[in-house]
A and B are shown apart, each in its own frame.
Chain A
Amino acid sequence: MRPTNKNTMLKVVILGDGGVGKSCLMNRFVSNHFDEHSFHTIGVEFLNKDIEIDGETYTLQIWDTAGQERFKTLRTPFYRGSDICLLTYAVDDKVSFRNLSMWKNEFLYYADVKEHLHFPFIVVGNKSDISNEEREVSQIELESWCNENGICNCIETSAKNASNVQEAFKMAVQYWLKAESRADKNEYSCNDTIDLTKKSGESRSSCCIGATEE
C-alpha cells in the first residue's frame, strides 16, 4: 500500500544523430531487448529503470530523443532539468561523430544547466559490434574529442550484442555522483575563495574507455 520507492531520481537525456541507435541503447538497457528494425523515434520516448550502484538504488528516468532535424523543436523542451546527458554517435558514422559538438551545444542551450563545465556528459560510441573495415571513428579520435571538450567519460557500446550498455549507464550515474559531491563541496566551501586547485585537477582527468568493463 505504501510505496517504498524512495530512490534518487535521475533524469537522463540521450542525444545524437538519427540512426545511431539511441532507442536501441535505451531498450537494451531497460528491457534487455534489441530490435534490428526499430522505427525512428517520434519526438521523445520515456522509460524508467532502476540501477544499483554501491548498494544505493537510483531510478533513471530516461528520455530518448528523436535525432532527425525535423523533431528539433519537439525534443528541445525536454532537455530542461536533466541530470545526465548521453551524447551518442555511431562508430561507423563519422558524421554523427562530428555532430557531437552540435548536440552538446544544443543541450547546453536548451537545458537548464547550472554549471556547464561540470555537467555529466557521457560520450557513447554505439555499434561497436561492426567490423574494423566499417569503422569510421577510432577510439583515439574519440579520446581526443573528449579531451578537447572537457568530457572525461566516454565508452563504446553495442546495443546489438549488449556490450557495455549497462556499464555506460552505470558510468553515467557514477559520474553524476562525482559531480554532485563536488557541487556539494563547492556549496559548503566559502564562495569568496577561488579554488585554484580545482582546474588543474580537472585537466588531469583522463578519458576512460570501457573503464568499467569487468
Chain B
Amino acid sequence: MKDVIKEKEEQAKAAAAEDEDEEKIKTIDEVSETESPTSSDSEGDDKSQFIACALNIDIALIFPIREEASLYTFHIFISLVINTVRCEMLRRMPKHSASELSLNKDLPMKMIRRKSLSQLTFRGLKKEEIQQRNYLTLINMTIEELYIELLYVIIHNVGHCNVSFEIGETALFSYIQDAFKISNEKHQELYDVASKKEPPNMLLNVEVIEAKDLAPKDPNGLADPYVTLYLDSSTSRRYNSSVKQTTLNPTWEEHFALPIDENAADDTLHIEVWDFDPAETVGEKFGKFVNVKGVKGIRRLVKEIAVTATTGQHNNELIGRAQIPLSAIPATGMKMWYSLDKKNKVTRQGVIKLRLGFSSEKNSKVATQEHRHLLRILLLHELETSKVAPYWWCGTFSPQAESLITQHVAQSGLCPVDTALSQWIVYTNIHKTHPLSYDLFASILEKLVKPVQTGLLSEEDQKLFWNATHRLLPSCYAMIRKIRKTNFKEKNALKQISRVLSILGTICVLDSSENIHKDLVEAIRKGAKDWFDHLLENNTVEDDSDDAKLKCLVKIVQLVRTDLQKAVEYYDKMFQEQVNFQYARNLYNIYQKKLTELVKPDVEEICTTMAKMPHIGYQNYSQVDTSQPLTIGTTLFELYLYLQRFVVLGDGLCPFEYDSFEIKDFHVWFYSGVAQWLNIAFYKALQRIDKAVGLDQLIPVDNTVKYSSSAIDSISIFYQIKIFWRELNWPDVEGCYTFIAKIIDDICRCLVHYATQMAKAVEGMGDKQDMYEKKFEVTQEWCLAINNIDYVLQSLVPFTVELGMEDILEKLSELNSPLEAQRCQQTLETVIANSVDTVKNEIFNLLDVVASKMCPSMKRLLVEGAELFHQDCNSVDRVMMYLDNNLHTLHDQLNEENFNRILDIIWDYLNDILLDLIKTNLEKRRPPSFFANLLETLKLMKSSFRLNSNCECDKLKKTERLLYLNGLETPDLIHQVHLDLWKEQKSTEEPSFGQLTVKMKFQGDELKVEILNAKNLVPMDSNGSSDSFVRVHLLPEEMFTNISKPKTQTQHKTLFPLFDESFTLKLSPEQRNRPDGLVLFSCKDYDMLDYDMLGYNNQYIGEALVHFKDVPNGSGSVSSLPQMSLELRRPQTLGMHTFKDVPNGSGSVSSLPQMSLELRRPQTLETDALKALEFRQGDKQAKEFLRRYKMKMAITKS
C-alpha cells in the first residue's frame, strides 16, 4: 500500500468557502482500500471527481462542528494541518494571566483550555468568524503546512533530557522527511520557512501539588504555608499560591503557567514556601474572604493578599526554597518531590511535590487537530516501515516518531487527555484498515474513562470520543463473534479477548444505555449461530442413511460441547469479570435450543423406524445379521451419551434455567430406541457367548482358578451390559426399574444360553472306545464346563446389585409408594430367583450327564466285582481305579459344592445300579454270596470315597441293607427277621394280645428264666377264655439246637394265668455270648379237644422277644430274678421293653424288676428281610419259616 499524495485543485462551491476561494485546496488522496469514499453530501457534478477519490472518513473526526462541516464535506480528507492564519491568530492571542490561572486551583487545566476560542472574542472578532477561520485552518491544512509545523517543532525543541535531544535534529529531519515523503528540495524549502518563523511562546506549567514535613514557624507549632514561584529570568514576576492555614502538610493542587523564552534551557525555576503571617492588614483582607463570592472574587482577594505579601508589608517568614533548572525538565513533563532548603540551615525544611511541564499557547483545537494528523501520518509510516502484523501494534513508535510526538505535545500545550483522545480517534480510525493491538486501546481508554465520566470533555470532544468509540466497537464485536477462531492455547490471543472485553466493559460503564450490552449479547449470539451454521455446513450427511445422519449429529454435539467447554475454561471468567456477562451460560442456552431443534426430530424419527425393524428371533439369533441395526443402535447410543454429557454440563452451568431447557428431557426422544438397544445388547451378548464358548480351550485361565476363558468372557459380556446401563443413566425412575427388569431377564437368558452352549461344547468329550469296550473318563473339560457355568451363575446376584437395583427401588419408593416399590422388588427378585434356579438345574443336568456317562463302566465293573470277588481281586481294583481316577479329576477340578453335588449324583446312580443288579440277580436266583460280594465291593468303595462325608443318602443305606440281607445265609436271614421283629416291638404302639410278666438273668453261662404270669390275654376259645402256656425259645435256632425249649404248665380257662415257674437253661459260653441272641416267649392256647395229632393244634396267641443284651447279669436265687412283663405280640408287632434302666445284675434277683412284655403277632411281610427270604424259593428252611410266619399272620387277620 502506498500513499500517493496528490495536490488537487478544487473549486469550492459552498458559500462559506467563497471567502477564500483564491486559496488552493490541497487534499491528500489516500489510496487505501479500506477508507472508502464518503458521499454524504454529493451535490454538484464537479464534485464527482473529488468524490471519486474522497475517502470514507468519519466526518465527525475531521469536523468537530458537524453542522458547519456539512458545507465542506465534499472536500474533505484526512490530513490537513497548520496554516499561517493559525499562526497569526496564535500570535495575536493574549497571554494568560498567570496569577489568574494560579487561582483556578479547582479547575484542571483542560477546563481552562476550553475557553481558548471564546477568549478570542475580546480581540473584536465575532465568535462565528473565529470558528469559521478555525475551521478553515483545519480544512485547509496541507501536508506541507503540517510538515513545516513539525520542522518548527523540531527546531524549537523543548525539554533537554529526553529522547529527541539525544537523537538530534538531523535524524529527526530525515525521519519526518521519510514519513512525509518530502523531496530534499522541498524539505529545504519548507525548512527555510519553518526556521524563519518566530520561536513559539512556550509556557512552563507548574502544578503545586502538596508539601510535607514543613518546618513549623508559628507559635502553635504549625504554619500557614503558601508557595511563591518565579523564574530566574524574571524575578519580578512572582506567582503565589493560596495560603493553607495551620498545617505542615498542605495540599494546594494549583496550576501556574510561567512564560519562558528561547533561552529557557539556562533558566531556573525558584520555589519558595512561606509562612503566612496573619498581620492585621492581611488579616482584614482575609476577613473578607468569607464574604467574597465567585471565583473571580476569590482570585482578586488572594491576589491582593499576595501583593501584600510580596511587597513585604508583613512579617512573612520563609520556610524553605528549591531551585529547579529548566533543562532538567523533560519535554514530556514530570512529577517530583523537591526538598526545601534554607540558606543558613542544614536541616531540611520540608519537601514539596510539583508537576512540571512545557506547553505552548497554541490554539488547542488546532493543536489537537494537528496532533491527530501527525499521529496518523506517523503511524501509517510506522506501520508501513515496520510491517507490524495486524493486532500487534501497541503504541510504540520509533524513537524519532516518539520524540516528534512528544515535542509536538509539549509545544502545542496538549494535556494528557487531549493526547489520549487524539490517539483514541486516530487509532480507532486506522484500526479499521490495519488492526492495532487491543492492549493499546484498552490503555488509552483507561486514560479517558475519568474525563468522559466526569464530563470534563467538551461536548465536541465527547462526540468525537463516541464516534471513535463506535468505530472501534464493530471490530470488538467481530472479535467476540469470531472468538472461536482465536487460538485459545496462545496466551496472547486470550489476552486480546480479555482486552477487548475490558474495552467493552469500560465502554459499557461509560455508556449508560444498554446498547453496548445488547450489542455484545447479539454479537455472541451471532457468533454462536454463525459457528453453529458453520458446523452444519461442514458436517453434511454423506449419504442418506440413518447412520450417517446420526454420526453427523454426534459430531456436531461433540463439537458444540467442546466449544462450550472452551468457553467455560477460557472465556467465561473473563466475560464475567470484564463485562459482567454470563458467557458460558448464555452460550449454553443458545446451543441447547439449536441442538434441540436439530437433533430431536431426527432422533425421534430414527427411533420410531428402528422400532419398526423386524424383530430377530430368539431361536435363530445366530443367523440374523445384527450388524445393521447394531451400528445404528450403537451410533444412536453414542449420540445419547454425548447429549447426556451436554445436558450434565448444562445442569452445572445453569442451575437456575436448567429446568426450562427443553434439552433436559432429551432422553424422551430416545424412548422407543431403548427397547431396541436392550434387544441389540441381548443379541450381541448371545452372539458373543457363542463366540466365547467357541474360543474356549477349556483350560483354566491360570493355576489358581478352576474355570476357563469363556466364563471370564461371559462375565465381561454382562459387564458390558452393565456399563451400557450405567452410561445410559436413564433419568426416569419407572423406566429404570422396567429396563432393569428387562436387563436381568435378558442376562438370565444369556446365562441359561451359556449353560446350554457349554454343555454342547463338552458333549462327547471323554468318550473312549477301544476294541473291547466303550468307556467314559471324566475330563478336565467337563469339570471346567461345570465350573464355568457355576462361576458365571455366582456373578449374577452381585451383577444385579451393581446394576443399582437397590437404589432404583429406593427411588421408586420415594416417588410412588413403598408398597409399589416392594412389588417391584418382588418382581426383580422372582426374576433373579427363577434364573438362578434354571441355571442350577442346568448345572445339575450337566453333572447328571457326567454321572450317567460313568454308569455303564461302573455297572460293568460292579458286576464283575460281584462275580469274581473272591477269585480275582483285580476286578475290584479296576472298579476302584475307575472311580478313583474320575472322582479324583472331579475333586481336583470342581469346586467343593459341585463336587459334593456330583458325588451325590454318582452315589445316586450307583444306588440305582445296585438296585438294578439286586433285582436282576435275585430273579436269576443268584446265591447269597453274590450279594455278599457285591456288598463287600460296595463297602470297599464307600470306605474309599466317602471317608470324609457322613451324609450318605438313605437310599444307599437301604440298598446296602438289601445287599446285606440278600447276602445272608438263610438261618441268618431268619434270625434277622426275628431281630427286626424285636426292634419293631420296641417302637410299635399296636395293641397287644396280652402281657407276660417274667424275670430273667444270666448267672454265669446259665440263663435263669422265671415266668410269673400273663395278663389280658386275648380269648382264643369259644368260651371267651384261653388255656394258655408259654414256651421259651432261644434264637437263632441253629445256635441253640442242643438246648431244650422249656414250656410252662397250661393254665386253663383264664385270661390271667399265673404260671410262676422257673427254668434254668445251661448254655455254652459261646452261646451265652452270642451278641444278637434272642429269647422268644411264645404264648399258645392249648387245644385239647381236637387236632391233637396234628401237632399244630395249639393256637398261637402271641409272642414276645427279649434280646440277650437286655437280660441282666447276676448271681443269686431264681426268686431274685428281675421280673419282666412282656407284651405278647405276634410277628411285626412285638412289644418290648428296653432294660436300660435295669441294674445289671450283681444285686439279688428278687430286687430285680419284673419285665412286663407285651405279646404281639407278626403283621407284615413287607420287610426287606422277609422279601429276601421270599426270593429263596428253593430254600426249604426259608420256605418253612415263611409258611409259619404267614400262619401267625393269618391268625391275626382272622
Chain B residues whose CB sits within 8 angstroms of the CB of A3 once the complex forms: 837, 840-841, 844
CA distance A78 to B831 in the complex (A): 12
Contact with B along A64-75 (1 / 0, CB 8 A): 000000010111
Interface residue A190 (Cβ < 8 Å from any Cβ of B): no
Chain B residues whose CB sits within 8 angstroms of the CB of A150 once the complex forms: none
Query: B678 to chain A: closest CB distance in Å?
Result: 6
Max chain B CB contacts within 10 Å: which of A43, A44, A61?
A43
Chain A 155-196 residues near chain B, CB threshold 8 A = none
- Residue pair A112, B738 in contact (C-beta under 8 Å): no
Contact with A along B807-822 (1 / 0, CB 8 A): 0000010001101100
From the candidates B618, B745, B823, B840, name the one contacting A112 in the complex (CB within 8 A): B618
- Residue pair B834, A48 in contact (C-beta under 8 Å): yes
- Residue pair A42, B812 in contact (C-beta under 8 Å): yes
CA distance A3 to B842 in the complex (A): 11
Query: A73 to chain B: closest CB distance in Å?
Result: 5
Which stretch from B648-656, B669-677, B709-717, B853-861 is at the chain A interface? B669-677
CA distance A214 to B1190 in the complex (A): 48
Chain B residues whose CB sits within 8 angstroms of the CB of A112 once the complex forms: 615-618
Chain B residues whose CB sits within 8 angstroms of the CB of A39 once the complex forms: 816-817, 819-820, 823
Query: B953 to chain A: closest CB distance in Å?
Result: 10
Given A39-B819, A42-B812, does the pair A74, B618 have CB atoms closer than 8 Å? no
Query: B955 to chain A: closest CB distance in Å?
Result: 13
Main secondary structure, interface of A, reads: mixed
From the candidates A5, A6, A45, name the one contacting B824 in the complex (CB within 8 A): A45
Chain B residues whose CB sits within 8 angstroms of the CB of A77 once the complex forms: 675, 678-679, 742
Interface residue A1 (Cβ < 8 Å from any Cβ of B): yes
CA distance A112 to B617 in the complex (A): 6
Chain B residues whose CB sits within 8 angstroms of the CB of A80 once the complex forms: 615, 618, 679
Interface residue B830 (Cβ < 8 Å from any Cβ of A): yes
- Residue pair A44, B840 in contact (C-beta under 8 Å): no
Interface residue B904 (Cβ < 8 Å from any Cβ of A): yes
Contact with B along A129-170 (1 / 0, CB 8 A): 000000000000000000000000000000000000000000
- Residue pair A73, B675 in contact (C-beta under 8 Å): yes
Chain A residues whose CB sits within 8 angstroms of the CB of B830 once the complex forms: 46-48
Interface residue B737 (Cβ < 8 Å from any Cβ of A): yes
Chain B residues whose CB sits within 8 angstroms of the CB of A75 once the complex forms: 738
CA distance A48 to B674 in the complex (A): 27
CA distance A2 to B675 in the complex (A): 36
CA distance A73 to B834 in the complex (A): 24
CA distance A42 to B736 in the complex (A): 10
Chain B 829-868 residues near chain A, CB threshold 8 A = 830-831, 834, 837-838, 840-841, 844
- Residue pair B901, A1 in contact (C-beta under 8 Å): yes
Query: B636 to chain A: closest CB distance in Å?
Result: 14
Contact with A along B598-619 (1 / 0, CB 8 A): 0000000000000000011111
Interface residue B10 (Cβ < 8 Å from any Cβ of A): no
Chain B 757-781 residues near chain A, CB threshold 8 A = none
- Residue pair A61, B735 in contact (C-beta under 8 Å): no
Chain B residues whose CB sits within 8 angstroms of the CB of A73 once the complex forms: 671-672, 674-675
From the candidates A5, A43, A48, A71, name the one contacting B741 in the complex (CB within 8 A): A43
- Residue pair B738, A44 in contact (C-beta under 8 Å): yes
Interface residue B734 (Cβ < 8 Å from any Cβ of A): yes
Interface residue B827 (Cβ < 8 Å from any Cβ of A): yes
Interface residue A81 (Cβ < 8 Å from any Cβ of B): yes
CA distance A112 to B620 in the complex (A): 11
Chain B residues whose CB sits within 8 angstroms of the CB of A78 once the complex forms: 741-742, 745
From the candidates A5, A42, A46, A110, name the one contacting B615 in the complex (CB within 8 A): A110
Given A42-B824, A77-B742, does the pair A61, B834 have CB atoms closer than 8 Å? yes
Query: A111 to chain B: closest CB distance in Å?
Result: 8
- Residue pair A45, B672 in contact (C-beta under 8 Å): no
CA distance A43 to B904 in the complex (A): 43
CA distance A23 to B565 in the complex (A): 49
Query: B71 to chain A: closest CB distance in Å?
Result: 77
Chain B residues whose CB sits within 8 angstroms of the CB of A9 once the complex forms: 838
From the candidates B615, B734, B749, name the one contacting A74 in the complex (CB within 8 A): B734
Chain B residues whose CB sits within 8 angstroms of the CB of A47 once the complex forms: 826-827, 830
Chain B residues whose CB sits within 8 angstroms of the CB of A81 once the complex forms: 618, 749
Interface residue A99 (Cβ < 8 Å from any Cβ of B): no
B616's nearest neighbour on chain A, judged by CB, is: A112
CA distance A43 to B738 in the complex (A): 5
Given A74-B739, A78-B745, does the pair A46, B831 have CB atoms closer than 8 Å? yes
CA distance A109 to B617 in the complex (A): 12
Given A3-B837, A3-B841, A61-B834, does the pair A71, B738 have CB atoms closer than 8 Å? yes
- Residue pair A42, B738 in contact (C-beta under 8 Å): yes
CA distance A203 to B1076 in the complex (A): 77
- Residue pair B735, A74 in contact (C-beta under 8 Å): yes
CA distance A5 to B678 in the complex (A): 30
B675's nearest neighbour on chain A, judged by CB, is: A77
Max chain A CB contacts within 10 Å: which of B672, B734, B823?
B823
Chain A residues whose CB sits within 8 angstroms of the CB of B820 once the complex forms: 39, 42
Chain A residues whose CB sits within 8 angstroms of the CB of B671 once the complex forms: 73
From the candidates A2, A42, A74, A110, name the one contacting B844 in the complex (CB within 8 A): A2
Chain A residues whose CB sits within 8 angstroms of the CB of B816 once the complex forms: 39, 42
Chain B residues whose CB sits within 8 angstroms of the CB of A74 once the complex forms: 675, 734-735, 738-739
Chain A 56-91 residues near chain B, CB threshold 8 A = 61, 71, 73-78, 80-81
Query: B164 to chain A: closest CB distance in Å?
Result: 83
CA distance A47 to B826 in the complex (A): 8
B674's nearest neighbour on chain A, judged by CB, is: A73
- Residue pair B827, A45 in contact (C-beta under 8 Å): yes
From the candidates B616, B734, B840, name the one contacting A43 in the complex (CB within 8 A): B734
CA distance A110 to B817 in the complex (A): 30
B840's nearest neighbour on chain A, judged by CB, is: A3
CA distance A74 to B735 in the complex (A): 6
Contact with A along B666-707 (1 / 0, CB 8 A): 000001101100110000000000000000000000000000
Chain A residues whose CB sits within 8 angstroms of the CB of B678 once the complex forms: 77
Query: B608 to chain A: closest CB distance in Å?
Result: 11
Query: A77 to chain B: closest CB distance in Å?
Result: 4
Query: B897 to chain A: closest CB distance in Å?
Result: 9
CA distance A74 to B734 in the complex (A): 9
CA distance A67 to B619 in the complex (A): 28
Max chain B CB contacts within 10 Å: which of A42, A71, A75?
A42
- Residue pair A2, B742 in contact (C-beta under 8 Å): no
Contact with B along A1-34 (1 / 0, CB 8 A): 1110110010000000000000000000000000
CA distance A34 to B838 in the complex (A): 30
A78's nearest neighbour on chain B, judged by CB, is: B742
Contact with B along A109-131 (1 / 0, CB 8 A): 01010100000000000000000
Given A1-B901, A43-B737, A112-B618, does the pair A76, B675 have CB atoms closer than 8 Å? yes
Chain B residues whose CB sits within 8 angstroms of the CB of A2 once the complex forms: 844, 901, 904-905
Chain B residues whose CB sits within 8 angstroms of the CB of A42 once the complex forms: 734, 737-738, 812, 816, 820, 824
Max chain A CB contacts within 10 Å: which of B616, B675, B904?
B675
| Additional A-B contact list (17), CB under 8 Å, known A42-B737, A112-B616 | A2-B905, A5-B841, A42-B734, A42-B820, A43-B734, A43-B824, A44-B738, A44-B741, A44-B827, A46-B828, A46-B831, A47-B827, A73-B674, A73-B675, A74-B734, A74-B739, A76-B675
Chain A residues with CB under 8 Å of chain B are 1-3, 5-6, 9, 39, 42-48, 61, 71, 73-78, 80-81, 110, 112, 114
- A to B CB contacts below 8 Å, 21 in the list: A1-B904, A2-B904, A3-B844, A5-B841, A6-B841, A39-B817, A42-B816, A42-B824, A43-B741, A45-B823, A45-B827, A46-B827, A47-B826, A47-B830, A71-B734, A73-B675, A76-B675, A81-B618, A112-B615, A112-B616, A112-B618
Chain B residues with CB under 8 Å of chain A are 615-619, 671-672, 674-675, 678-679, 734-735, 737-739, 741-742, 745, 749, 812, 816-817, 819-820, 823-824, 826-828, 830-831, 834, 837-838, 840-841, 844, 901, 904-905
Closest 6 pairs between A and B when the two form their complex, measured CB to CB: A43-B738, A74-B738, A46-B827, A77-B675, A45-B827, A77-B742
